[in-house]
Structure 1
Amino acid sequence: MVISGSLPVGLAVNAAGVLAATLGRRVEALVGPDVVDGSGERHAGLVRIPIPVLKADEEAIKSVRVRAAALEDLLVVDVTETAQSSRTYEEYEDRMASTRGDGLGYLGVALYGEKRAVNKLTGSLPLLR
């Protein structure tokens, strides 16, 4: 997952949450089963794999997204300025339909697929701190 380093903390966390929720819905085996602690209390299953959260500027995120989308075996999920500034999903749909791809500002991207392919696209990016 790559998030814009220029976002304020709240918007960065929101972008990461949106990307994670979408990944969890699209990749069936990503979330493990519920677990039970030693007291018998049930806890919702969590993701089975690590999800590093990296940072980049918006141009680098766009570049990662474009290169990743050209690869058949990667799932690419993105969050744009249009998504984050829309008040309803209907507004988001309408605004996306009237915006060309080259006019989108990317705030984050999540990739899922073969580790080598993901690392090739994101390996040089620092962690978001």
Structure 2
Amino acid sequence: MKCVILINEELPLGLIANTSAVLAMSIGKKYDHLIGCDVEDQDGVIHPGITQIPIPLLKGNDELLKTIRTRILNKEVNDVYMIDFCNMAQKSKNYDQYMIRMKATPTEKLSYLGIGLCGPEKAVNKLTGSLPLLR
């Protein structure tokens, strides 16, 4: 299993952090087995479990995010789970408002701040293997 988060490189730092957090939480909900057990340090302090696999942050522009999203929706690559974070989600004050805005917005009017992908390593690499790390 491989997971990556692809971030729109045009975002300011605060939105990059927010988008990454939202997508990572959403991946963690779907794949809760990726979270390790709690760890105890030498002093007996417990540290809650974190992800057991690396989740690289990659960068691309809005057009690239839409293209990858479309390829997954068109089943060009199988068994890849995708979660997206779009402008309607970022601008909404709560989840109810997000649902209302999404229902009133055609897909082609959405822009993506980021997408999270998880699946077989070969499939995820086929979609993202040539993309640079977000630095």
TM-score (norm 2): 0.92
Bigger RCO of structures 1 and 2 (CA < 8 A, at least 6 apart):
2
Q: Report the equivalent of 2:50.
A: 46
CA distance in 2, matches of 1:123, 1:74: 14
- Segments of structure 1 that go 5 or more residues without pairing to the other structure are none
Q: Which of 29, 33, 39 is the aligned partner of 1:29?
A: 33
Measure, in 1, the Cα distance between the counterparts of 2:34 and 2:107: 29
Specify the alignment match of 2:81 in structure 1: 75
Q: How many residues were matched structurally? A: 129
Matched residue type, 2:55 = I
Q: 1:87 deviation in Å?
A: 1.0
Q: CA deviation at 1:35?
A: 0.7
After superposing on structure 2, the runs of 4+ consecutive aligned residues of structure 1 that deviate more than 2 Å are: 68-72
Residue 108 in structure 1 maps to residue 114 in structure 2: yes
What secondary structure, in the 3-state scheme, does the structure 2 residue paired with 1:112 have?
A: strand
Q: Which residue of 1 aligns with 2:91?
A: 85
Please give the alpha-carbon distance, in whole angstroms, between the structure 2 residues aligned to 1:15 and 1:109: 9
> Hey, what's the Cα distance between the residues in 1 that align with 2:54 and 2:43?
26
CA RMSD of aligned residues (A): 1.0
What amino acid maps onto 1:93 in structure 2?
Answer: M
Q: Does 1:19 align with 2:60?
A: no
Instruction: Give CA deviations for 1:43-100 in whole Å, capped at 9, x if unaligned.
Output: 0100011100000001101111111232441110100011111111111000001112
Residues 1:117 and 2:123 aligned together:
yes
Give the match for residue 127 of structure 1. Answer: 133
Separation of aligned partners in 2, 1:16 and 1:28:
17
| Aligned residue type for 1:107 | L
